[in-house]
Amino acid sequence: MAKEMTLLWGSGSPPCWRVMIVLEEKNLKGYNQKLLSFEKGEHKSAQVMEMNPRGQLPAFKHKDRVLNESYAACIYLESQFQSQGNKLIPECPAEQAMMYQRMFEANTLSQKMADVIYYTWKVPEAERHDSAVKRNKEALAAELKLWEGYMQKASGPFVAGKTFSLADVMVFPAIAYLYRFGFCEERYPKLAAYHNSLKDRPSIKTSWPPTWLENPQTQDILKDL
């Protein structure tokens, strides 16, 4: 089954990481994969554009089915291989509802992270304003306080309760990305505990971004958040 799958991915990309975590959780090992470099512009290569005309990673294919949105690919894999590996959608209706809520809320977290981390990359120098930087950081801080509260009230160690689910697949790479950019553990102890409890989970550890392993030095963009 895995041999009928192809994944084009980039190291450190949370969307790519999500798909890789699910493939590990479902024991779909031995799939065809190719690590591409964002820095070299390989995500705009002909091979990627053929699968994903947006020129973005991941680009994922199972047989003749192409899924380039990480949420779509993860839900598809769980649906197609639900009896294999670890079940990623809880059977309990309450936990299932919470899982869907939290996994789609992760989109907001990711967007607010991007507004801060990529501000100088996305906004031309002449259009940058300190007020915008301040506003973006305040919005991200408010978002993180919301997630800190979610983890405070959680009924278990995971985002949606007592079991690892698709919600964690979406949320954990975003939290790990925060720490890559200098996020302070002391200010958000529940998120820190969540990160530390999951970073050695086999599916996460096995798929940990190789560039992060090669260069563990973090950046400090979020140190004052």
Contact 106, 160 (CB under 8 A): no
Please state the rounded mean pLDDT for residues 185-192. 92
Question: Does residue 221 register a pLDDT over 90?
Answer: no
Question: What's the pLDDT score for residue 220?
Answer: 77
What the chain holds in terms of domains, given with CATH numbers, is: 2-80 (3.40.30.10), 93-214 (1.20.1050.10)
Question: Does residue 184 register a pLDDT over 90?
Answer: no
DSSP conformation class of 83: T
Measured CA to CA, the distance from residue 45 to residue 38 in angstroms comes to: 10
Lowest mean pLDDT among 25-29, 165-169, 184-188, 220-224: 220-224
Question: Does residue 218 register a pLDDT over 80?
Answer: no
Residue 63 — pLDDT band, cuts 50, 70, 90?
Answer: very high
Q: How far is CA 12 from CA 24, 62, 176, 179, 215, in A?
A: 17, 23, 10, 12, 11
Measured CA to CA, the distance from residue 217 to residue 52 in angstroms comes to: 32
Give the CA diameter of the chain.
Answer: 54
Measured CA to CA, the distance from residue 21 to residue 209 in angstroms comes to: 11
